[in-house]
Amino acid sequence: MKLIQKAVLALTILALVGITGNQSASARALRDMDNQIQTVTKPQVVEVSKPKPSEGKNHGLSEEYHGHKSNRPETVNPKKGKPPAANNRFIQVQLLGINDLHGQLNVTRKVNGKPAGRVDYLAAYLKQREAENKNTLLVEDGDMVGASPPISALLQDEPTIEILNKLGFDIGTVGNHEFDEGLTELMRLIKGGTHPKTGNFAGSNFPWIVANVVNEKTGKTILPPYQVIKVNGMPIGFIGVVTTETPTLVVPSGVAGLKFTDEVEAINQNVAELKKQGVKSIVVLAHNPGTSGPNGENPAGQLVDIANRVDDEVDIIFGGHNHAYMNATIDNKLVVQSYSYGTAFSDVDLEIDPKTKDIVSKRAEIVTTFQEGIEPDPEIKKMIEGYEAKIEPIVNQVVGSSSESLTAMQNENGESVLGDFIADAQRKALNTELAFMNPGGIRADIDPGDITWGEIYTVQPFNNDLVKMSMTGQQIRELLNQQWGATKTNMLQISGLSYTWDPNKPAGQRVVSTKLPDGTEMDPNKSYSVTANIFLSGGGDGFTVFTQAKNKEVGPVDLDALVNFSKAQPKPFTYGIQNRIQRVQ
């Protein structure tokens, strides 16, 4: 995955200058943008007359298929009571945790029909809870950055780190998205350093840990595997891990030279180290998926397996990755996850026996950050406004107009309107016969009306290069059959072909026919030109057939392709589902 400056440069050339091929004009625009961005590390209050991105259209952000759970059956009580049977002999400790923020600093979502989220509201909740117990630690469980909206991504996700710093987070681990731009950029965000777009950055004020990501050259973990934090004299050990699926979720360059080891083995190895040091209160920050019912019933997911297999000295496991609710006790370990995007947090209460230094009781509450009844934190709100002012000239540019919604919701055949539109844009950009788009790379919908650059960015925030390649008809059939994996179905969005599939056939044989636009069957022995993003072309999401393609050439960024395609449409344009995928009834 390329650094964000490529997208910013392309935008600057196209939008601020308004012409292409003029190097001197492009250079002037780039310098102007550099000057704007380099001042952002000192947030300021700016009066903005136009609606901010979060105050205008909802940008299609509250749909379930974009990773946001809007319906939450659990009872939400914003006023937390004292832990039951609190014992004054024990030290009361509070852990406030978030996961999968994805840089969504200024995004309001709907939960049970009511506004929720935005980090200024999250901050108000956290500060309110923190004031209830002086023995409070703030923890994050990965995917704080990556797939971020423009407010964070256009500024290299530095705003997210700065806000976590301002809130006083104490410890964190990495998620798979922290590797989107590679190890060097991850380390810059954590330890500080210089970026050509944003200048000097101080880095994170709190330690980051991960026990199962190893540098293949040195044989050592890229970050400390654990950290011991003393709270009121009581040592609490934190161990971090990230899902071993990360290499299949990130472009190859993002994880080059890294080895992701088994989470349970890494946890147990470091539990042993902590036990040698006399640490008996142990918390795991695991960027791994899990779910449960509102009262802890029916726990499922990788977190259940991890909880059952790790050392019994582990007391608490924070989870993430699948943006879900979890609050369950498994093998006497409390396992929690609090949705995503700053719309909730985990409030975990512990009691530690000062004699044994061990946790003797634990309970958790998953709190949704409803905006109703609480004022946003003014300090964080000012920071958000400062970031928004810096990116406003970019994100508010109108690049098209749609008469109807373009949604990523797939029909029963596995096809979506927005998937068709993006695949068409990519095929057009590289002038190939076919194109394929992974649905996981579509992060939001496009609403009716004017389409802004910011909306397009929110839809495709990864800035993946597009790749032109050659594949045979047989390889394309095999590729399509890879959509039905052992554990999940992942329907590619397509352009330049159509096919039928039969759900009653065995996996690997479900594709019945593949046809070209003229209605003829694809020739299994013929070579076709294909466009896909660099993530897919490297075999991402388990589509390994892409690695067999030949004559690969890197083209423009997917974001630019979608912006240009939107600009080329009539205003307004109408675009419906193309019926390229048909399930045999």
pLDDT (tens digit, 9 = 90+) per residue, 103-120? 999 999 999 999 999 999
What stretch of H or E contains 531?
strand 527-533
Name the more confident of 539 and 13. 539
pLDDT (tens digit, 9 = 90+) per residue, 465-487? 999 999 999 999 999 999 999 88
Token reading at 329: 């006790």
Closest CA relative to residue 40, chosen from 167, 193, 189, 200: 200
Residue 475 φ then ψ, to 5°: -65, -35
Cβ atoms of residues 558 and 583 within 8 Å? no
53 pLDDT above the threshold of 90: no
Q: Can you tell me the mean pLDDT for 388-392? A: 94
Q: Can you tell me the mean pLDDT for 549-570? A: 97
pLDDT for residue 61: 61
Report in angstroms the alpha-carbon separations of 283 from 130, 333, 347, 542.
Answer: 19, 10, 14, 32
SS3 call for 584:
coil
Rounded CA separation 232/140 (Å)? 21
Rounded CA separation 341/581 (Å)? 32
pLDDT (tens digit, 9 = 90+) per residue, 332-347? 999 999 999 999 999 9
Could you tell me which residues come within 8 angstroms of residue 128 by beta carbon, excluding any fewer than 6 positions away? 374
Rounded CA separation 230/419 (Å)? 50
pLDDT (tens digit, 9 = 90+) per residue, 248-259? 999 899 999 999
pLDDT for residue 64: 66
501 pLDDT above the threshold of 60: yes
**DSSP for residue 523:** P
% the chain with pLDDT above 90: 83
